Amino acid sequence: MSNADFWESEATRQPWFASRSTPSEPENTTADSTVPNLSTTLTQLRAIATALVPVEAALAYLSTLREPATLETRVRQTSENTSVESFRASTRDYLDELDEIERQLQGGEGETVELWKQLQATHNGIRIKQRSVEALFWHLASGATGERSGLHASIAQMRDRTLQNEAEMQYSDIERLARQLPTEALSHQAVDLFSDAGQATLGLMLEIEQRQRVIERLILDDRSVPVAITVLSIVYAVGVVGFIVLFVWLWGDGFLVESLGDRKLPVVGVPWPVLAWSLFGSLAAIVYRFIHCPFRRLGETAKWMWMRPIQGILFGGASYLIVEAGLSVLVDRIGAETPLPLADPTILVLSFLVGFSDRLADTVFRFAER
């Protein structure tokens, strides 16, 4: 028998259930005819009270997930007070009352009318609780089918591609689950919370909110930097500054060059100031990344720190050779092996930018392919 059927059943139409007032002794009522009805009503009320426990716990947890709060507060909220066991205590009093009535009924310790009176009081309490649970369900259901444009916009603004991809996967699952909700029935409050369909709807609503909590945690992770990465970044920045100071101190006489052609390295044929400025560009790119878009994983940070300078030196040297070859094609011959004096600062700036920007390096290489 469903809950709706029980509240319209024969037991609830007995004189003892007619009002909250003290019932009168029914005429021609015998123990044999009353006890079975009382036992049946006890069983039905116990089943309803027991069914209320997980539903109330799920709704309380859903209400906690929906509670307005800052992003960091929402992520750190726990569900310690919303477990089934904690909410079983709120219904335990009604179950204890039903157990006591059943014990008196089986032991013949009380009058049947008194037991009916006790049962009516317990029935009223369970009925009130059921109505409050249903009211909470409809309150929470009103926002289950709403749009989540703000959440989607926050995902689009995430800087870490790995975290963003995971958040987009969770958001796709939320959209899939939202399409399974009985939107029409929810809008007309035509869902029986304690039926199979109602339980399935509540499960969908809860899963949607849980997946949204996962997305919020990913967004918060994207906005925060782990302590280990922060410490590593500071140490690396200090090392970079020390390296530049040492470089200027030891090789300051050739740092600002008059001619790049006189300082070419053997074998590779690239002036060492070009490689130095490409290295500086790479170091500047690392510092820029730490400030504006830091990594969230220590392995990626270490790889970026070690490989980005090497990449900048290689790209800077290759870009210099490409520019020199282009000038050789455009100009018949410029001096012995020295380009125009005004071209030296331009080449150094280009080397710095190539070391700093991957896009500029790609542009230079695409130009060489033509």
DSSP string, 214-261: HHHHHHHHHH---HHHHHHHHHHHHHHHHHHHHHHHHHGGGTS-S-SG
Show the tokens assigned to 342.
């005004």
Q: Is the pLDDT of residue 302 over 50?
A: yes
Instruction: List b or e across 191-211, with b for residues whose CB sees 16 or more CB atoms inside 10 angstroms.
Output: bebbeeebbebbebbbebbeb
Residue 277: which pLDDT band, with cuts at 50, 70 and 90?
confident
Per-position b or e across 53-90, b if 16+ CB within 10 A of its CB: bebbbbbbbbebbbeeeeeeebbeeeeeebeeeebbee
Q: What DSSP assignment string belongs to 119-141?
A: HHHHHHHHHHHHHHHHHHHHHHH
- H-type helices in the chain, by residue range? 3-6, 31-66, 71-76, 84-107, 112-141, 149-156, 161-180, 183-187, 196-223, 227-251, 272-292, 298-330, 343-356, 358-369
Query: What pLDDT is stored for residue 80 in this prediction?
Result: 44
Residue 322 pLDDT exceeds 60? yes
pLDDT at position 142, please?
A: 78
Q: Which residues partner with 271 through β-bridges?
A: 264
Whole-number pLDDT of residue 3: 52
174-197 pLDDT per residue, tens: 999 988 999 888 888 888 888 888
What confidence tens digit (pLDDT) does each residue in 94-123 have?
A: 888 888 888 887 776 656 778 888 888 888
Residue 370 has pLDDT above 80, yes or no: no
> Are the CB atoms for 211 and 201 separated by under 8 Å?
no
The structural domains of the chain, with segments of one domain joined by +, span 3-141, 227-369
Stretch 77-103: mean pLDDT, rounded? 66
**pLDDT at position 19, please?**
38
Return the higher-pLDDT residue of 342 and 345. 345
The predicted pLDDT at position 270 comes to 84
Give the pLDDT of residue 11: 44
Digit-coded pLDDT (tens) for 9-47: 444 444 434 333 333 334 444 444 444 477 888 888 888
What mean pLDDT is predicted for residues 274-288?
Answer: 86
Q: Compute the C-alpha angle 220/82/211, nearest 5°.
A: 35
Q: Which residue has the higher pLDDT, 251 or 269?
A: 269
Instruction: Give the pLDDT band of residue 301 (cuts 50, 70, 90).
Output: confident
